[in-house]
């Protein structure tokens, strides 16, 4: 699990760096489209890993009840951030 977490942390850092690059470049830059495509690829890859391997491992470690509680907490937080 530690390897997965380390990899995820690195991926988060890379996405943050790409977002900063996009902001600095501005959408009129010739490099912007390529950076955006790279960002999209990284985010989709990262989401797939988290939805697959990491959640599976979390279920093994935490147990069904804790995973369900965390899922509910996540959904509640998501509703709060998207509301009004």
Question: Rounded to the nearest 10 degrees, what angle do helices 2-25 and 32-49 cross at?
Answer: 160
Does residue 21 surpass a pLDDT of 90? yes
- Reported as a single tens digit per residue, the pLDDT across 34-68 is 999 999 998 988 888 777 787 788 888 888 888 88
Segment 37-46, tens digit of pLDDT = 999 998 988 8
pLDDT surpasses 70 at 84: no
| Helix, strand or coil, per DSSP, at residue 29 | coil
Is residue 14 within 8 Å of 42, Cβ to Cβ?
yes
Question: What single DSSP character describes residue 31?
Answer: T
């Amino acid at each position: 699990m530690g390897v997965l977490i380390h990899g995820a942390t690195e991926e988060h850092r890379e996405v943050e760096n790409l977002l900063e690059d996009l902001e600095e470049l501005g959408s009129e830059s010739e490099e912007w489209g390529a950076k955006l495509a790279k960002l999209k690829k990284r985010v989709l890859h990262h989401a797939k890993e988290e939805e697959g391997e990491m959640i599976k491992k979390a279920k093994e470690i935490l147990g069904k009840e804790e995973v369900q509680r965390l899922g509910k907490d996540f959904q509640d937080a998501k509703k709060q951030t998207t509301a009004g």
